[in-house]
Amino acid sequence: MRCDRVLIVRAPEQMRETKTVHWKIKRRQTADPRTVVCVLASPFSPEVNVTSPGHGWVTALLEDGVVVSSGEGGLSGDRIQDATAKIPMVHSVPDLHVSEQVAAELALQEEQNLLASRKLILLVDLDQTILHTSNDLQAFRYKNLHRYCLPGSSLIYHTSFRPHLLTVLDSLSKYYEMHICTFGNRVYAHKLASIIDPKRRYFSHRILSRDECFNPITKFANLKALFPRGLNLVCIIDDRGEVWDWSPNLIHVKPYR
């Protein structure tokens, strides 16, 4: 299927806080403006239906929404011509690709939205930039650490936040759309995001982990795909400059250990 545009459908954030979201759509299902994507239910008010903003096919399911791709027909995976889609535009859905033209159109729309809200983009590294994690048994001696296990493992991790982290994130969120960009694996990155930002006020779904990176050595390779119109609105904070090829957009911070 050739995608002309990609739409990410989510329940309104202000309603998600007071209502239960029931998703009514599945992957590979067709969608049109009459299709109910989800129902917002509350025992104290009438149900609210959220419908698709256009015609297309559901090509991916996110944790808090669905991706609807419009095109010339056919299910996702049914190729009617040579594929031109090769740019991944959604951090948490690395298999979702769009063409260079569509990527540029989406990037322009995102850029216009950022400028309208008077914000820039900030890519935030995790380990030794805003936090430090260890599985050393000696860490049990310390207080005020976040302790947790990852799925499928009994190993206990101990994470310490950089001092005043939440205050800084709250301040930065007024001026930046923040993205996590880490060489930690997907499970680890999402676990830490849920601890740092349980209400998804700062990072939402914008989490790029090692599993989504093109290159296991450098993060710089992802920038062109994520920001096809350039890096004019992008800032980066990281304790390691070499993984960004010492980009001029980088703010190099002292490692937090």
Active site residues: 125, 127
- Which phi and psi (to 5°) does residue 170 adopt? -65, -40
DSSP track, 102-114: HHHHHHHHHHHHH
Helices (H), the chain: 13-16, 100-116, 165-172, 186-196, 223-226
Q: Which among 66, 64, 11, 67 has a CA at the least distance from the CA of 42?
A: 11
- Residue owning tokens 């914000």: 119
Tokens of 38: 């989800």
Q: Which among 128, 126, 131 has a CA at the least distance from the CA of 209?
A: 126
- Distance CA(220)–CA(125), nearest Å, equals 13
Residues whose CB is less than 8 angstroms from the CB of residue 152 and which lie 6 or more positions away in sequence, other chains included: none
- Distance CA(216)–CA(243), nearest Å, equals 9
